[in-house]
Amino acid sequence: MASYLKKKFEKKNGVFSFDINDTNTKKVTEFYKTTPFPNYKEDDNKQTILEKGNKNILARQFKKFIGYQKKILEVGCGTGQLSIFFSINTNNEIVGLDPTIDSLKLAKNFADNNDLKNIELVNADIFDDVLVDNYFDFIWCNGVLHHTKDPKLAFDILSKSLKSNGYILLGLYNKIGRIRTILRKYLSKIFGKKLLYILDPTLKNLKVSKEERDAWIQDQYFHPIESLHTLDEILSWFKKNNIDFINSIPSCDFEFSQDYEDLFEKKAVGTLYSRILNQISMIFNKFGSDGGLFIVIGKKKN
């Protein structure tokens, strides 16, 4: 395989590797080296990753929608748990790309120990533009671009490797919806980190190991690079890259779907007014309490 790589690579311990030279990206990889995200539990196996993935409505619907014999790219896959979820019990070809080799090593280890043959890992920086054009049927990029030096440029680069009629799912921090997290961040700077255990609803509900809670705190409150975005901004990125808007969470329009069964069906793009109002509503619902991540799905035009 690796016909999806257009630049010369080295294969190191089973991972297709490129040199990471950018100063900002290096800052980020140093950060994830100490707190791999998301972390594995000692007893994780195919079954536990499958259960975890199926509990995530977005991931479950995405996997269902993909079907079989497709080429899927996860950008910023970290420790690869989602790529692994997508690969289990399918004949899809999964590629997980991330600049943090320490995270990819965990992914590779898990894939090898669980005999997963349809997943490959690429150690690269998006900005090094290592992927061929028009190759992938689906691109998943959640929680990544807001940790890069230039999210818009990163999106332009990624879009090139998406096929015509291919789908892209993007998850980013919302400029309005993340207000509660930003407030908690400043309060914890004044009153100390312990306050987060009282104020952060996700942290209060996380019935997981100390490592996972620490990884969440580091990722949400102490990240070296973070930017905030809006629905309208992403719509303009889509337009520039010949990508049609399909759906978003929160919705762009005033119509809401509860079960996400129709996540990949085209929805109305709404108005500036409906989009702003829906982003404000994030502050008061679980999207805002979970860090203000919003999702936009697009489909590349012919």
Among 99, 250, 270, 298, binds ligand SAM (CB under 6 A): 99
106: CB partners within 8 A, 6+ apart = 36, 40, 79, 80
Q: Is 219 in the site for ligand SAM (CB under 6 A)?
A: yes
Helical packing angle, 210-221 and 179-191, nearest 10°: 100
CB of 155 to ligand SAM, least distance (A): 12
Q: Write out the binding residues for ligand SAM, residues 48-77 only, by CB under 6 A.
A: 75-77
Helical packing angle, 231-240 and 272-282, nearest 10°: 130
Radius of gyration from C-alpha coordinates of the chain: 18
Task: Give the count of residues interacting with ligand SAM (CB under 6 A).
Answer: 23
CB-wise, 4 or 267, nearer to ligand SAM? Answer: 4
Distances from the Cα of 99 to the Cα of 57, 125, 128, 246, angstroms:
27, 5, 10, 29
Stretch of 39-47, 130-138, 142-150, 210-218 contacting ligand SAM, by CB under 6 A: 142-150
CB-wise, 28 or 84, nearer to ligand SAM? Answer: 28
Q: Is 25 in the site for ligand SAM (CB under 6 A)?
A: yes
CB of 277 to ligand SAM, least distance (A): 27
Q: Is 103 in the site for ligand SAM (CB under 6 A)?
A: yes
Q: Is 38 in the site for ligand SAM (CB under 6 A)?
A: yes
CB-wise, 137 or 219, nearer to ligand SAM? Answer: 219
Report cis status (omega within 30 of 0) of the bond before 250. yes
CB-wise, 170 or 246, nearer to ligand SAM? Answer: 170
Q: Is 290 in the site for ligand SAM (CB under 6 A)?
A: no
Stretch of 144-152, 159-167, 235-243, 256-264 contacting ligand SAM, by CB under 6 A: 144-152
CB of 273 to ligand SAM, least distance (A): 31
Q: What spatial distance separates the first Cα and last Cα of the chain, rounded to whole Å?
A: 26
Q: Is 142 in the site for ligand SAM (CB under 6 A)?
A: yes
Q: Write out the binding residues for ligand SAM, residues 244-273 only, by CB under 6 A.
A: none
CB-wise, 167 or 267, nearer to ligand SAM? Answer: 167
Kindly list the residues in this chain that would bind ligand SAM in the complex (CB under 6 A).
Answer: 25, 28-29, 32, 37-38, 75-78, 98-100, 103, 125-127, 142-144, 147-148, 219
